Chain A
Amino acid sequence: EDKVVQSPLSLVVHEGDTVTLNCSYEVTNFRSLLWYKQEKKAPTFLFMLTSSGIEKKSGRLSSILDKKELFSILNITATQTGDSAIYLCASNRDDKIIFGKGTRLHILP
């Protein structure tokens, strides 16, 4: 059965800390790995990863995919209170997107 597993499910850190969020996947006909940030409404797209070993960066956020070991990580450096959200990992196969349950990140001021 296809699945996407995120860890930790919940994380509380202080502002300025660096966090690493994990995502493992087992998906047939894998096409891409997606990261989203979700606050109260629609998930906000962060990264789409299709190739192993190529880091994608956007400001303080970065992500990398390991297609051999079937996992991805999302790093956030110098965290800010505005980074508090649920971070969703999802795997895109040929006919559907399979989401993980998300990591709830809370940044303390």
Chain B
Amino acid sequence: DTEVTQTPKHLVMGMTNKKSLKCEQHMGHRAMYWYKQKAKKPPELMFVYSYEKLSINESVPSRFSPECPNSSLLNLHLHALQPEDSALYLCASSQDQDTLGYGYTFGSGTRLTVV
């Protein structure tokens, strides 16, 4: 298995809703990432988990809450989002965070719309 699987592919949620994005990989990668990407912009790093521990939080608002239950799974819990949070959320994984990360594998993303 050489893929990063993200679910759902599309999500529409209200500002009072609670939802979660899921990311899964079975390549034995020990670093996993959440990116946010707005239209016509490059991906912006949100969180990095290395060996199941949060290693980087790019000053992301607390309405986004990451979780890494095990080495294969990464979640992003969403609560009380704003319409400006609408974006493509990308998950990625790599063998190790500390190297240059040969072979970054990205998921195809979750298109989130906040209404």
Interface set of A (CB-CB < 8 Å, partner B): 9-10, 34, 36, 38-45, 48, 84-86, 88, 95-99, 101-102, 104, 106
Contacts and interface: CB of A to CB of B under 8 A. Distances in A.
Contacts of B40: 48
B51 interface: no
Interface of B: 35, 37, 40-45, 48, 56, 58, 88, 90, 97-98, 100-106, 108-109, 111
SS class, residues of chain B in contact with chain A: loop
B104 A40 contact: no
B48 to A, nearest CB: 8
B111 A42 contact: no
Residue from the set B41, B90, B104, B109 with the largest chain A CB neighbour count within 10 Å: B104
B111 A95 contact: yes
Ranked 3 nearest A-B pairs via Cβ: A42-B45, A45-B42, A99-B106
Given A34-B42, A41-B48, A86-B104, 5 more contacts: A36-B43, A40-B100, A86-B101, A96-B88, A101-B103
A39 B45 CA distance: 12
SS class, residues of chain A in contact with chain B: strand
Contacts of A40: 97-98, 100-101
A96 B100 contact: no
B109 A41 contact: no
A97 B45 contact: no
Contact of A97 (B37, B48, B58, B105): B37
A104 B37 contact: no
18 contacts: A34-B42, A36-B43, A39-B100, A40-B100, A40-B101, A41-B48, A42-B44, A43-B43, A45-B41, A45-B42, A84-B100, A85-B100, A86-B102, A95-B111, A96-B88, A97-B109, A99-B104, A104-B103
Residue from the set B37, B41, B43, B45 with the largest chain A CB neighbour count within 10 Å: B43
Residue from the set B35, B42, B102 with the largest chain A CB neighbour count within 10 Å: B42
